[in-house]
A and B are shown apart, each in its own frame.
Chain A
């Protein structure tokens, strides 16, 4: 595919953040996807692409209003990305990771309440929803959740975050995983018999 102008910029940006997410271990293999909205288009990573090493061919441009021929090779979550961009919240960037702790927590919770100051301040709460990957049902639920939240966890699947810019969506993804790790550690310590002290003002 031709890679010049805006497309070249998008490619570099997605490659950069794909690399960061991979180094954190939030995505591995062919997992996860990223997208940006610009004008009437969505630039999304390709189905089967490796976020840790994106190639120019791995960025697919599809129309925002869709569907289109190019949906066939876009991430299989293209329906979901489109639904989020069209949910009225004016999001311009989406990150989807397969973060381990957040996914583990999703088996036990309906909502993840961040315990640390920064995450609680930024994310407030993280809803957990269900639905088959790639389905219209899941797209609808995630799009609805991301109207009023920065992040959502899909049970047994992973994290979706949305923001105005990719760097912020990336930051949300990091905070979700940090929240889940912290929840896990606190719950583990509690299970060891330690008593939890409430933080008065979060």
Chain B
């Protein structure tokens, strides 16, 4: 088998068992790796209708056939589990070098089930694994935990870990994989915390055999030229990072501020990419072997760290009425250390700010009050005082205070920075997303605003159902290879199919790639249906649907279900499941 290892590590924390299991070729060909493999393993191994924190829930960290190859953007991995925030199946893609290290250790994936008796770390050294007690690391920040493990084990180890938020089962806890890299959304850090796994350190040096090294290299040359000529991947991202989106989205009056009460932020110029570049910028940084290198390092008061990404800037900035770049840098760094997803955390604080304004939360937190926000972040991560309420996420917070409509979520996941009133395709993608209010299932903003690969009329609903389904499938495949989605702003499915063919030697085509994506998307949907999700959950917040420029969601949904081959209730039809071979042979590990 080329490009895959054909092996996964299975860790049963309750029984204290660790073993290596084979991954059948057929399974890898049908689900590829990363998100797809993770979804299949969680679907088969985790019982339905159990709480995300139950010891029977399973968390999978998985790489794909392109992970660790020389293809661009391919050092990534996926984390998949049932989310404590949404109750849906949930995957999160993460950069850095942890994924390629796992592959170099001889493994495609890691399956963790059960619950450890004490706070533990999993150490994987060249494929040999052991659990160690790390009770002494309880309460350490993500940065401290990573540093300590690298001190103890060696700097060549790559570490994913959780902070206090994950340990305290905060529903929006993330998993950090080194400076600037997190599996952010859905509270998967809390699932790790529920299993009492503080960190997973991995080291590997096994070379990876691919089918046609030269073809892969030539594809990179072709990809490089195309990525350079694209205005987003060739200019905006390399020169300004993702924060270039802030002013751009605000100009379109699509940057929701003050908990989505208005579609623009008056202080956007103060926190624009240009300000970060002129006042805080130190240097560019990127994942290994990436021609885009979108990450940037900034310096504040002599301390260097990652520049906040666009979504983080928005969630802790405009969504909360804050326009101080220095405060925003400090807030995002604090979230990173505490192990909190910046988007859901910022959006939940924004929700609390509105509830405070309505007189429902006392003592609450006022718009733009950065000092109160800093204290609140620490309290959320440690589940103290008001922070304990917010640690449940915006939906549970607003429901508890009798104002569910104040939470701007879909299926419990807080909406990100693109106001769906201005982009109808993205609106549909939010509503139908298998993991809730997420912009990355089908990033329709690319076509509807950025004009790549083609500029679409953002307020035209015609054809959007087909495009959303197409991109959901395409991105499910991308997340399963696993490569960075930014590549897909320029490269089409043909290039990725060729890359897979070169890596694995298997006859991947555009059509087979999209079919795998469709299979993965439908299996996720099936999981959610079995968890009780249906059409009523494929919706948008009342504030969006009741506004004069609301997208025609009902009509678009009807078209979408038809395109998908699902029933009017949003359930995959028997024919569709047979066509895709779902749910497929049950995996036993």
Contacts and interface: CB of A to CB of B under 8 A. Distances in A.
Nearest to B457: A55
B215 to A, nearest CB: 25
B289 to A, nearest CB: 24
A95 to B, nearest CB: 20
A73 B245 contact: no
B455 A72 contact: no
A132 B248 contact: no
B224 interface: no
Contacts of B457: 55
Interface stretch (B131-139, B233-241, B348-356): B233-241
Contact of B245 (A48, A68, A69, A76): A69
A72 B236 contact: yes
B576 to A, nearest CB: 34
Interface of B is mostly: helix
Contacts of A74: 231
B303 interface: no
Given A46-B451, A47-B455, A71 B252 contact: no
B569 interface: no
21 contacts: A1-B253, A30-B454, A30-B455, A46-B451, A47-B231, A48-B452, A57-B252, A57-B458, A67-B235, A68-B274, A69-B244, A69-B248, A69-B272, A69-B273, A72-B235, A72-B244, A72-B245, A72-B450, A76-B231, A78-B231, A134-B229
B interface, how many residues as a size bin?
A: 20 to 34
Given A1-B251, A46-B455, A73 B274 contact: no
Contacts of B234: 134
B239 A67 contact: yes
Contact of A72 (B231, B272, B274): B231
A71 B251 CA distance: 13
Contacts of A68: 247, 274
B246 A69 contact: yes
A70 B240 CA distance: 11
Given A1-B252, A132-B229, A73 B451 contact: yes
A107 B244 CA distance: 38
Nearest to A68: B274
A133 interface: yes
B449 interface: yes
Contacts of A200: none
B316 interface: no
Contact of A70 (B243, B251, B458): B251
Contact of A2 (B231, B236, B248, B253): B253
Nearest to B243: A69
Contacts of A49: 451, 455
A46 B455 CA distance: 9
A67 B229 CA distance: 16
Interface in A51-82: 55, 57, 67-74, 76, 78
